[in-house]
Amino acid sequence: MPPPTDIDAIRTAFQADLEEVVSDQNLQTVRDRYLGRKQGALAALMQSMAGAPPADRPALGKAANALKRTIEQALANRRKTLQASARPAGGVDVTLPGRETPFGRRHPLTLIREQVESIFGAMGFEILQGPQVEDDYHNFEALNMPPDHPARDMQDTFYLDRPMPGAGGTPSTHPATLLRTHTSGMQIRYMETHQPPVRIIAPGVVYRRDTPDLTHSPMFVQVEGLLVDEGITMADLKGTLITFLQAFFDADIRVMFRPSFFPYTEPSAEVFISCVFCDGTGCPVCKKTGWLEILGCGMVHPAVFEAVGYDPERYTGWAFGLGIDRVALLKHRVDDIRLFYDNDLRLLEQFPH
Amino acid sequence: MRILVSWLRELVTLPVGAGSPVNIDELAGLLTMRGFEVGAVEPWPAGPANPTSQAGPAGGNEPPDAVLDLEITTNRPDCLSVLGIAREVGTVYGTDLRMPELWSDDDDDQRDPIAVTIDDADVDLCPRYAGALVDVEVGPSPRWLAARLEAADVRPINNVVDVTNYVMLELGHPMHAFDLDRLAGPEIRVRRARAGETIRTLDGVQRQLESEMLVIADAERAQAVAGVMGGADSEVSSTTRTIVLEAAYFNPIAVRRTGKRIGLATDASYRFERGADVEAPVRAIARARQLLATIGAGQPRGPVVDRYPTPPAPIVVRLRHHRIGHLLGQTIDAAFVAPTLTRLGFDPQLEPATDPPVWRVTVPTFRVDVSREEDLIEEVARHHGYDTLPTTYPAPTEPARPSGPWRARDHLVRQLLTGCGFSEAITYGFIEREPALAIHANAEDIVTLRNPLSEKGAVLRPSLLPGLVDSLIHNRRRERQDIRLFEVGSRFCHRDGETPALALAMTGDAVACHWSGPERKTDLFDLTGVLVRLCEGFGGVATFEPGTAGHLVPGRTACVRLRVADATTVLGTVGQLDPGFAHARGLTGSDAVYVAELDLRLLTTGAFDHLRATPVPRYPSITRDLSIEIDDVLPAVRVRDTIRAAAGPALVSIKEFDRYVGAGIAEGAVSLSIRLTFRAPDRTLTDTEVQSVTDDVVRALARNHQAKLR
Ligand SMILES: [Zn+2]
């Protein structure tokens, strides 16, 4: 189609042609069509002006020049736009490895501990931390384990050669002389300073003077829980722990409570879950019993309440203790507890961020 | 405790299904569910342990036998015996106990009573002592008796010693036999050891006694360590003609202390220290005399002499029926409660006119674990079955209290550092003394363990670094090159007690080897950069000053300061680990290791709690680059201080973007290129303004540091 020859028609046609431009090549074609020295629409317009009445020529010339500038400007803008959105030439091998920003992992025992904390946190438990270097009173005596009590043999203890200042360096009537064998001391401290209702868990590292082997470490991580109020029963203990264990492991696991002995609870129980590896049918992990021992618990012994000044007639409560290491060994099938303390990145990096 | 099922069957009837033998696995399961965990059921040959078996080793029609390997908790010493387990089994099945046959003393036989004296002052250590004579003919035990001991892992010795062990296993009460002829006369003295007294015990070891220890002596010297072990001098031998049988009750704490002190733990001390039955001694002697007579090993002579000055009053505990339901969460039928307690040996008497019922329960002397109502409730619950209790969920009666600030702090530390590529380590709280001293030079301040497992855990860590460096080296020795670890934990010293700390360690490449470009080794500034990020996460600004520390390389050590709001605190140190330290911990090769340790008490969340956002800048900024030549030992922080002071409020950032030493730069000098960014909150700065400020900066640098503009 030959270019139009009057100014308005040229402008309209140019606008339409410009719309169609998608490449440098289109752009050149449009430029040639309108601004070409010989064939261009404007050149033709200029020539046609020669036949116009002389009086009209200046105005026509002015209008033609204005149109030329408009077209030049529009073409220049279009070129810029085309350049900016031009795609780069050549591809890359997208299968080459990317640059990885290093990221670390929380320790598996921290992950488990945080899961336990969040489940109990959702059940309204306050999370406490206490000192690792404890005094005999809070670790043993207040928990119904007077000196020379045979039950102390159940928790072989590390002692300091001389007392250390108590938690945070405060002087205490009970000099800190040992590494806590459980986090129960924190429960005593809490009850000494708070009235019921009590809903707490106390996670932390504890120490037992056990020779390290596949399932024993002289230091390990424990979470203990305590609930005290009026009218708390062993049925509540069962209900709460089953809720926790099913939330932690699997909603389908079965839970078994079996009589046991701890000096600070009466009645006492050991809690088992149906083996998570064989679904209770029997395998090497559960030693063919179908059950895995998971925690110890019981109703708080009245002597413990008396030690902290609670009325055992009015208040009842329960306590439990859970070995985080043991849970981690079971849940993730790690076969040697000592691996947790080697901090071997080949193990740590298998766990989520 | 290993118990032969056939022996158990002698004392209690086990139900037998029609034509089928007792289901031993079921029995094991029932005991386990009542608190006596059966670790193993071992099949056992039926014939040899049967006293009435006439058949050969193949056995007659005896039911199959087995050994139950039971775990007895420390509170139940009464169940360290066939009788104790039989009582539990009888309660499970509702069958009656059969007490073993006892020797009936002939009251007319008053021949040669032995003299027994307990020093008045020592009655608390030995509230009861019974002794009696038996004329014996020492020889091997009959096969069934020896077989029963062997099933319990007790080695048969001779008929006399075997009978005392048999009675201990059967009734639970430890016994001892002295050779009368080897005592200095027919006399037993229960007394404390004398100063300097020694005894050679049955295991052949000469032992030093102490004055708190109770001994069983003749008129001259100690012949046994009471409740722990007999003496070799009066040991029963093949030539023994008469024995003194001993059955006593010894104070549990005293036996425990003595055993620990002389380093001896025996079957007897194990029972005494948990609590024996103070009513058992005379019965034990009667049983032993009966057995010795039955197996033709001896003939009792004379009366049993029983010294029991003050028998304790029986313990009576009130048990309120409603309290059972109150504690367990379910009412247990009263018709279950009383019979169960009765079968277990308690004597529950209903208090008149009580509804719900209340019992006055007399506790048998063998139940040393029962002294309160809760103890009885446990007995009821145990036999009713924990699985029969309902499951309920206790409704909170108050909103949960928030956890302490430590929790948010530790969580944030972990979040920030894992984001910086550091993985979390957990290391032991105790470490070797040497690395502890290398970091914490004050030896007096280090907390030492009295009974460490080994030298590897001799002291409580005054710093988290030794353990963390060990973990780093553990990884380095396992082909791992790029390692970044951190630990959050307690450190200990006598001066400050237990305080929370954070340690970091890194080595290897900071920029990993990649196809697109070269790797770059970690240096100090990678770690200081992480600390800047960490402090920023807590709403603070980290600054570094040259510092020193024994375990860090001089000149590559900084003191870390934290500024939050207007307060500045010393947070810790950062630096390159002394290669000597790393080498001593087992690092091979020459990798540079960078470490930092911070006082976690100073990092507190909450800096953002009162954050008021400043307006986002509305006017453009202008930058100016300066290259100056300065003394190469001049800390960059001094240059910054000078710039900041000279530039005034329009300066919004300083960035050192190049540092160059070499051609064109004077010896001992360094070229530092700095980009200054200026901005005003209320207008666009003019070139003239910025140039004027920049000139001020250049003049100040020249004045303070003799800096030359390049
Ligand atoms: Zn299994």
Beta bridge pairs of residue B564: B567
Is residue B386 within 8 Å of residue B377, measured between CB atoms? no
Taking CB atoms and an 8 Å limit, are B394 and A158 in contact across chains? no
Chain B partners within 8 Å of A239 (Cβ): 390-394
Q: How many CB atoms lie within 10 A of CB B153?
A: 11
CA distance A97 to B578: 36
Portion 230-259 of B in contact with A at CB < 8 A: 252-253, 256-257
- Given a cut of 60, whether residue B55 has pLDDT beyond it is no
CA distance B386 to B382: 6
- Residues ≥6 apart with Cβ < 8 Å to B240: B136, B138, B160, B179, B180, B181
Is there a domain that residue B104 lies in?
Answer: no
DSSP-based three-state secondary structure for B411: helix
Is there a domain that residue B110 lies in?
Answer: no
Is there a domain that residue B101 lies in?
Answer: no
CA atoms within 13 A on the CB side of A25: 0
Nearest to B449 among A160, A263, A349 (CB): A160
Q: What is the pLDDT of residues B223-273, one digit of tens each?
A: 999 999 999 999 999 999 999 999 999 999 999 999 999 999 999 999 999
Q: What is the pLDDT of residues A269-289, one digit of tens each?
A: 999 999 988 988 999 888 888
- Residues ≥6 apart with Cβ < 8 Å to B459: B430, B431, B432, B433, B436, B446, B447, B448, B449
Nearest to B401 among A126, A218, A343 (CB): A126
Q: Which of B574, B607, B640 is the last residue of a domain?
A: B607
Chain B partners within 8 Å of A243 (Cβ): 393
Is there a domain that residue B88 lies in?
Answer: yes
Chain A partners within 8 Å of B418 (Cβ): 103-106, 353
User: What spacing in Å lies between the alpha carbon of A143 and ligand 1's midpoint?
Assistant: 34
Is residue B106 within 8 Å of residue B297, measured between CB atoms? no
Q: What is the pLDDT of residues B407-440, one digit of tens each?
A: 999 999 999 999 999 999 999 999 999 999 999 8
Tell me the one-letter amino acid at B590. Answer: S
Q: Please report which confidence band the pLDDT of residue B62 belongs to, taking 50, 70 and 90 as the band edges.
A: low
Q: Quick check: B376 contacting A, CB < 8 Å? A: no
CATH label of the domain that carries residue B253 = 3.50.40.10
Q: Are residues B464 and B326 in the same domain?
A: no
What are the E-state strand segments in B84-201?
115-118, 128-136, 176-179, 187-192, 198-200
CA distance B279 to B562: 71
Question: If you ran DSSP here, which 8-state letter would residue A323 be given?
Answer: E
Taking CB atoms and an 8 Å limit, are B403 and A126 in contact across chains? yes
Q: Quick check: B481 contacting A, CB < 8 Å? A: no
Q: Which two tokens stand for residue B443?
A: 């030896």
Q: Quick check: A340 contacting B, CB < 8 Å? A: yes
Instruction: Return the closest-CA partner of residue B82 out of B171, B15, B13, B161.
Output: B171
- Per-residue model confidence as pLDDT tens for chain A (353 residues): 555 568 888 888 888 988 888 888 888 888 888 888 888 888 888 888 777 888 888 888 888 888 889 999 999 999 998 888 888 888 899 999 998 888 899 999 999 999 999 999 999 999 999 999 999 999 999 999 988 887 787 779 999 999 987 654 444 577 889 999 999 999 999 999 999 999 999 999 999 999 999 989 999 999 999 999 999 999 999 999 999 999 999 899 999 999 999 999 999 999 999 998 898 899 988 888 899 999 999 999 999 999 999 999 999 999 999 999 999 998 898 989 999 999 999 999 999 87
Question: If you ran DSSP here, which 8-state letter would residue B201 be given?
Answer: B
CATH label of the domain that carries residue B659 = 3.30.70.380
Q: How many CB atoms lie within 10 A of CB B624?
A: 17
Model pTM score: 0.88
Chain A partners within 8 Å of B451 (Cβ): 158-159, 209
Q: What is the domain partition of chain A in residue ranges?
A: 7-83, 108-348
Distance set, CA A339 to CA A325, A335, B453 (Å) = 10, 8, 19
Which CATH architecture describes the domain A108-348? Answer: 2-Layer Sandwich (3.30)
Q: Are residues B563 and B650 in the same domain?
A: no
Q: Quick check: A124 contacting B, CB < 8 Å? A: yes
Is residue B92 within 8 Å of residue B344, measured between CB atoms? no
Q: Are residues B381 and B453 in the same domain?
A: no
Q: Which of B307, B329, B355 is the last residue of a domain?
A: B307
Q: Quick check: B444 contacting A, CB < 8 Å? A: no
pLDDT (0 to 100) of residue B153: 95
Q: Which two tokens stand for residue B593?
A: 């290791």
Task: Determine the residue of chain A that is closest to B427 in CA distance.
Answer: A341
The percent of residues above 70 in pLDDT, for chain B, comes to 97
Q: Please report which confidence band the pLDDT of residue B154 belongs to, taking 50, 70 and 90 as the band edges.
A: very high
Q: Is the dihedral of CA A222, A223, A228, A232 positive or negative?
A: negative
Is there a domain that residue B345 lies in?
Answer: yes
CA distance B129 to B348: 30
Q: Quick check: B462 contacting A, CB < 8 Å? A: no
Instruction: Return the closest-CA partner of residue B297 out of B139, B118, B171.
Output: B139
CATH label of the domain that carries residue B40 = 3.30.56.10
User: What spacing in Å lies between the alpha carbon of A273 and ligand 1's midpoint?
Assistant: 10
Chain A partners within 8 Å of B486 (Cβ): 104
Taking CB atoms and an 8 Å limit, are A219 and B428 in contact across chains? yes
Beta bridge pairs of residue A293: A272
Taking CB atoms and an 8 Å limit, are A106 and B424 in contact across chains? yes
Chain A partners within 8 Å of B328 (Cβ): 233-235, 267
Is residue B70 within 8 Å of residue B36, measured between CB atoms? yes
Domain containing B320 equals: 316-363+371-388
- Residues ≥6 apart with Cβ < 8 Å to B464: B427, B487, B489, B491, B501, B502, B503, B597
Q: Quick check: B449 contacting A, CB < 8 Å? A: yes
Nearest to A103 among B32, B377, B418 (CB): B418
Is there a domain that residue B571 lies in?
Answer: yes
Q: Are residues B417 and B323 in the same domain?
A: no
Would you call A124 exposed, middle or buried from its count of C-beta atoms within 10 A (0-12, 13-18, 19+)? middle
Q: Please report which confidence band the pLDDT of residue B4 belongs to, taking 50, 70 and 90 as the band edges.
A: very high
Tell me the one-letter amino acid at B354. Answer: T
User: What spacing in Å lies between the alpha carbon of A274 and ligand 1's midpoint?
Assistant: 8
- Given a cut of 60, whether residue B17 has pLDDT beyond it is no
- Residues ≥6 apart with Cβ < 8 Å to B238: B138, B139, B158
Taking CB atoms and an 8 Å limit, are A218 and B428 in contact across chains? yes
Q: Quick check: A104 contacting B, CB < 8 Å? A: yes
CA distance A322 to A125: 15
CA distance A147 to B699: 76
pLDDT (0 to 100) of residue B46: 77
Is there a domain that residue B396 lies in?
Answer: no
Q: How many domains does chain B have?
A: 5
Q: Quick check: B40 contacting A, CB < 8 Å? A: no
Distance set, CA B30 to CA B13, B27, B158, B378, B470 (Å) = 15, 5, 36, 16, 49
Taking CB atoms and an 8 Å limit, are A257 and B374 in contact across chains? no
pLDDT (0 to 100) of residue B320: 97
Is there a domain that residue B400 lies in?
Answer: no
CA distance B286 to B444: 61
Is residue A71 within 8 Å of residue A35, measured between CB atoms? yes
Best probe of the B interface among A258, A339, A340, by most B CBs < 10 A, is: A258
Chain A partners within 8 Å of B419 (Cβ): 103-104
pLDDT (0 to 100) of residue B56: 44
Q: Quick check: A197 contacting B, CB < 8 Å? A: yes
Q: Quick check: B273 contacting A, CB < 8 Å? A: yes
Q: Are residues B127 and B263 in the same domain?
A: yes
First-to-final CA distance of chain A: 67
DSSP string, A110-121: HHHHHHHHHHHH
Q: How many CB atoms lie within 10 A of CB B362?
A: 16
